[in-house]
Structure 1
Amino acid sequence: MKINTITIQEILDKYETILLDAFGVLVYQKDAVPGAIPFIDRLNQSRKPYFILTNDAAHSVSTSVSRFHRLGLSIEAKRIITSGTLLVSYFQNHDLVGHGCAVLGTQDSSEYVHIAGGKVVPIQEYSSWDVLVVCDEMGFPFLENMDMALSMLFKKIEARQPFQLILPNPDLIYRKNEEEFGITAGSMALVLETALKLRYPDCKEREFIRLGKPYSPIFQEAYLRSGTKNMVMIGDQLLYDIRGAKNFGIASILIGTGVTPCDTLTKENPDCPDFILPSWIP
């Protein structure tokens, strides 16, 4: 059975708060998604509460605001909830404040770890860190640092040095533009996990702790800010945006501008959304 479509006006009438993914929903790598700018303008003019729930751990909130504004999207900092900000509570709840941390990602990624209380150290100094945080595929020599991360993890296992693996952004791929896709941090983590399992099948520390969507903390933060569960998540990926919303008990809409195509989706899919929205353009 086909999933019902929904219009923008119906969304605004039906839900108190709108939750939006960023990449593939509002923005691509270098441009705004067609129709996203007038939609955000409409939300701002109507004063409809909304939040951006993004698994992005490569850009700080202030960097994200500047990027949105540069692309024509008038989004304030108070409306942005990133997976990188979840590191603060995770570090506090798991006694990681003050621990040495190696970071794969951008300068903003390292700043997220620093704000959470971690001490960022070079990845090659394997005896100085016991936490590896994989945030993004950008901001460093990719192949060299992935090889270095793998080698240092092997060394730590051989030396019987405990470590933790943390992945703020579980996304595997993202949409760069209307024609191209790219891998992101979740795919990097899968590579490292597979290698660890292959070489050390009995190692207990070979899996990453995944934050961000589809897990509940990022949705809980949106609930705390909005004060209502009459929210809807509009996203482009079934496994992260839609599954996360369903698990948290809120409505979901798949938009057809990103990773997951809408035209072949049916209600038999366990991660099917409540509605589909082909694009922001009527």
Structure 2
Amino acid sequence: MQELKSIYEITKNFDGFLFDAYGVLVDEQGLLEGATELLSHLESIGKPFWMLTNGSSKTVADTVKRYRNMGLPFSVDNVITSGALLSDCLDQLTEPGQAIGVLGTEGSHQLVRDAGRCPVAITESKDFDILVIANQTDYDFVPALDAALSLAIDRIDRGLNFTVVLTNPDLFYPKGENRFGITAGSVSLILEECLKLRYGSLPPNRIIKLGKPFPPMFREAERRAGSKRLVMVGDQIYTDIKGANDYGFQSVLVATGLTGREMLDSLDDSLKPSYFVNHLKES
């Protein structure tokens, strides 16, 4: 691991840059220092960049609109969300028009519609065998999770299929200085651990995970870039850094989000970033 004084030291070393959103470019308070300046610099030297976000509460168009309103130069061509991977995943699991249970926002429901399926609220229907866990908000948490667990156990006990598609594997995220919140990964983890307690283990592919650190998002980034000489800039070891390292990308840990420098010495080498930097500012 190389410790950088500035991320600008490596801007010419790669064919493209991949950025996480929360904790790297923004938090719930707004833009993080240095974000817009770094992206402008990359544009000026002809280096393409993409946002890779596990967020799946909005459509890609709405995600782009939100970040452009904050002053970040993104378009639908260089934003890859975990929700955008949903269509290909569902094509492998279901026929068009099938009902899909959804835990998430209206934007999460729209992602399922855009994939050619019919989203249903889990507390209103039991006529589905695939549950998409996309977000932790905009539904009555405990009743919805109770309904999901009950339906999963009922179907598994009867020898029927029940598959969870988790678009956002993040467990928590930075909301601002010393403030954090849980995400969809924590919702799925509750369900997963309950099912493990009942059945001992879960069959392969019972829970399908799409976002970082899993390969689909990095595979899509490589496809768009036409190169594997990419570097992932993130703030989370077990999603951004591990995912990039496992896929064969270089990685940069920036200390403006969940992980500080003090954690790195105790990590296995496979989890350490290629580079560490305190922030995205030029100096």
TM normalised by structure 2 equals 0.91
Corresponding residue number in structure 2 for 1:131:
130
Kindly state the Cα deviation for residue 106 of structure 1 after the two structures are TM-superposed.
Answer: 0.8
- 1:42-57 matches, cutoff 5 A: 42-57=41-56
- Alignment partner of 1:147 is 2:174: no
> Percent same amino acid at aligned positions?
37
Q: For 2:224, what is the secondary structure of its paired residue?
A: helix
Distance 1:56 1:9, change over 3 A: same
Kindly state the Cα deviation for residue 246 of structure 1 after the two structures are TM-superposed.
Answer: 1.1
Letter in 1 for 2:216: P
Letter in 2 for 1:172: L
Q: Deviations over 1:56-98 (max 9, x none)?
A: 1112111111211222222222110011111111112234533
- 1:98-247 matches, cutoff 5 A: 98-201=97-200, 204=203, 207-247=206-246
Letter in 2 for 1:144: P
**CA–CA separation in structure 1 for the residues paired with 2:176 and 2:145:** 25
**CA–CA separation in structure 2 for the residues paired with 1:191 and 1:96:** 28
**CA–CA separation in structure 2 for the residues paired with 1:229 and 1:149:** 39
**CA–CA separation in structure 2 for the residues paired with 1:268 and 1:151:** 38
Corresponding residue number in structure 2 for 1:79:
78
**CA–CA separation in structure 1 for the residues paired with 2:138 and 2:44:** 36
Distance 1:260 1:202, change over 3 A: closer
Write 1 or 2 for the structure with the bigger share of strand: 2
- Alignment partner of 1:274 is 2:258: no
Using the TM superposition, name which of 54-63 and 40-49 deviates more.
40-49
User: Residue 123 of structure 2 contacts residue 143 of structure 2 at CA under 8 Å; is this kept in 1?
Assistant: no
**CA–CA separation in structure 1 for the residues paired with 2:122 and 2:82:** 22
- 1:32-71 matches, cutoff 5 A: 32-71=31-70
**CA–CA separation in structure 2 for the residues paired with 1:122 and 1:158:** 22
Aligned length: 281
Distance 1:186 1:144, change over 3 A: same
RMSD: 2.1
Distance 1:226 1:181, change over 3 A: same
Kindly state the Cα deviation for residue 15 of structure 1 after the two structures are TM-superposed.
Answer: 1.2
Q: Which runs of 5+ in 1 are unaligned?
A: none
Q: For 1:102, what is the secondary structure of its paired residue?
A: strand
Kindly state the Cα deviation for residue 275 of structure 1 after the two structures are TM-superposed.
Answer: 0.5
Q: For 1:14, what is the secondary structure of its paired residue?
A: coil
Q: Which runs of 5+ in 2 are unaligned?
A: none
User: Residue 162 of structure 2 contacts residue 206 of structure 2 at CA under 8 Å; is this kept in 1?
Assistant: no
Q: Deviations over 1:79-125 (max 9, x none)?
A: 10011111111112234533221100111111111222222123135
**CA–CA separation in structure 2 for the residues paired with 1:203 and 1:216:** 21
Using the TM superposition, name which of 43-52 and 214-223 deviates more.
43-52
Kindly state the Cα deviation for residue 203 of structure 1 after the two structures are TM-superposed.
Answer: 6.1
TM normalised by structure 1 equals 0.91
**CA–CA separation in structure 1 for the residues paired with 2:27 and 2:93:** 34
**CA–CA separation in structure 1 for the residues paired with 2:217 and 2:209:** 12
**CA–CA separation in structure 2 for the residues paired with 1:157 and 1:95:** 18
**CA–CA separation in structure 1 for the residues paired with 2:39 and 2:202:** 47
Kindly state the Cα deviation for residue 221 of structure 1 after the two structures are TM-superposed.
Answer: 1.1
**CA–CA separation in structure 1 for the residues paired with 2:159 and 2:92:** 24
Distance 1:205 1:199, change over 3 A: farther
Using the TM superposition, name which of 154-163 and 221-230 deviates more.
154-163
**CA–CA separation in structure 1 for the residues paired with 2:66 and 2:190:** 30
**CA–CA separation in structure 1 for the residues paired with 2:92 and 2:205:** 21
User: Residue 196 of structure 1 contacts residue 206 of structure 1 at CA under 8 Å; is this kept in 2?
Assistant: no
**CA–CA separation in structure 1 for the residues paired with 2:185 and 2:84:** 17
